[in-house]
Amino acid sequence: MKFETSIRRPVAVSGVGLHHGAPVNLRIVPAPAATGIVFIRTDLKRFEIPASWQCVERVAYATSLMRRGVLISTTEHLLSVLYSMGIDNAYIELDNLEVPIVDGSGAPFVELLREAGIQTYRRPRRYLRILRPVTVEAEGKSVSIVPANRFELQCNIFFDHPLVGEQSLDTAVTPEAYANEIAPARTFGFERELDQMRDMGLIRGATLENAVCFTPRSVANAGGLRFPDECCRHKALDLIGDLALIGRPLLGRVVAEKAGHKMHAALVNMIMSDPTIYDIVTWERAQSVARPKPQLQRVMAG
Ligand SMILES: [Zn+2]
């Protein structure tokens, strides 16, 4: 896609938040070019919070954004869908503090966008192109990004469970691949951890209709899994949702090893805090060969 987009008409969905469990009405509304994605708390005098890495507040179990004390919780699934489906500009109106979890996956949001349609503006899209590799790592987990002329993703996970174990996914993130292979994957949890999470005030809205629950040897959900590697696909969904906070379409290959929201946020911070890691290019420029920028000279000669 060479030009910026928005949706064609407003669409709405209602539900509960996964962690706070509060009811919420959400509406996605067309926005002009150069707006980006902006959350609006309609219950708080239409207070606006841009979907930006600069507003990240909390990264434990879900990603939350905050500006001047106003919170939007669990942004990653909806942002993942908007980013992957190529929507550059939209207002997301909510009348509570958490995005509805719907069925725990991105599929209902993909359906909403299909209902809304896409409009293309005349303003050329500006991509964030990665110029040199960067890695964040800790405790055997890591996430890296390397130059590539499209947005690609490799996600590797390990969970000690007979239905999970080691899983891996490698894909180019196109709207088609995303809608079919990643969006339907649901959020998941392990029965053994539920009490602890509830004690932390989390997953108050979780049910078997909006999350996969792994019992010691199986899953508690009547329909079973949607994919044998549904966990890995969902981790890819989450990763894209956190990368979306870059605020521009990405040209680079991301490789994640057992990474979570905290590490995704650290990578985004590392990229955005160092302008020698990326440049901002139109689609045409992106097709030419990227050249690394010279490193900033931090030590003066003499
Ligand atoms: Zn998730």
Q: Rounded to the nearest whole angstrom, what is the distance from the C-alpha of residue 83 to the centroid of ligand 1?
A: 15
Confidence (pLDDT) at 59 = 78
Mean pLDDT, residues 219-231 taken together: 97
Distance CA 189, CA 208 (A): 10
Confidence (pLDDT) at 294 = 59
Distance CA 193, CA 221 (A): 16
Distance CA 239, CA 262 (A): 10
Is the pLDDT reported for residue 113 higher than 80?
A: yes
Confidence (pLDDT) at 1 = 72
Confidence (pLDDT) at 301 = 42
Confidence (pLDDT) at 292 = 61
Query: Can you give the pTM of this predicted structure?
Result: 0.94
Q: Rounded to the nearest whole angstrom, what is the distance from the C-alpha of residue 106 to the centroid of ligand 1?
A: 9
- The whole-angstrom distance between residue 155's C-alpha and the CA centroid of its chain comes to 14
Do the Cβ atoms of 27 and 10 come closer than 8 Å? yes
Confidence (pLDDT) at 65 = 96
- Please report which helix (H) or strand (E) contains residue 116, including its range: helix 107-116
Mean pLDDT, residues 177-194 taken together: 96
pLDDT single digits (tens) 124-173: 999 999 999 999 999 999 999 999 999 999 999 999 999 999 999 999 99
Least confident of 147-161, 173-187, 287-301: 287-301
Is the pLDDT reported for residue 295 higher than 60?
A: no
Q: Rounded to the nearest whole angstrom, what is the distance from the C-alpha of residue 65 to the centroid of ligand 1?
A: 15
DSSP result, 191-207: GGGHHHHHHTT--TT--
Mean pLDDT, residues 290-300 taken together: 55
Distance CA 153, CA 21 (A): 31
Neighbouring C-beta atoms of residue 177, cutoff 10 Å: 14
Mean pLDDT, residues 106-122 taken together: 98
Is the pLDDT reported for residue 201 higher than 60?
A: yes
For residue 212, what are its two tokens?
């996969």
Mean pLDDT, residues 285-290 taken together: 76
Q: How confident is the model at residue 289 (pLDDT cuts 50, 70, 90)?
A: low
Question: What amino acid positions are annotated as catalytic residues?
Answer: 261
pLDDT single digits (tens) 43-102: 999 999 999 999 999 877 889 999 999 999 999 999 999 999 999 999 999 999 999 999
Number of H helices, E strands in the chain: 7, 19
- Lookup result for tokens 């990763």: 239
- Sign of the CA dihedral 72, 76, 82, 83? positive
Q: Rounded to the nearest whole angstrom, what is the distance from the C-alpha of residue 132 to the centroid of ligand 1?
A: 28
Mean pLDDT, residues 273-301 taken together: 75
Q: What is the phi-psi region of residue 34: left when phi exceeds 0, alpha when psi lies from -120 to 50, beta otherwise? A: left
Confidence (pLDDT) at 233 = 98
Q: What angle do CA 46, 49, 54 make, to 5 degrees?
A: 165
Q: How confident is the model at residue 175 (pLDDT cuts 50, 70, 90)?
A: very high
Q: Rounded to the nearest whole angstrom, what is the distance from the C-alpha of residue 89 to the centroid of ligand 1?
A: 22
Q: Rounded to the nearest whole angstrom, what is the distance from the C-alpha of residue 237 to the centroid of ligand 1?
A: 7
Question: 105-138: buried (b, 16+ CB within 10 Å) or exposed (e) per residue?
Answer: bbbbbbbbbeebebeeeeeebbbbbbbeebebee
Do the Cβ atoms of 98 and 22 come closer than 8 Å? yes
For residue 60, what are its two tokens?
């434990």
Q: How confident is the model at residue 299 (pLDDT cuts 50, 70, 90)?
A: very low
Confidence (pLDDT) at 302 = 38
Q: Which domains does the chain have, with CATH numbers?
A: 3-125 (3.30.230.20), 127-300 (3.30.1700.10)
pLDDT single digits (tens) 11-47: 999 999 998 899 999 999 999 999 999 999 999 999 9
pLDDT single digits (tens) 230-285: 999 999 999 999 999 999 999 999 999 999 989 999 999 999 999 999 999 999 88
Q: Rounded to the nearest whole angstrom, what is the distance from the C-alpha of residue 260 to the centroid of ligand 1?
A: 10
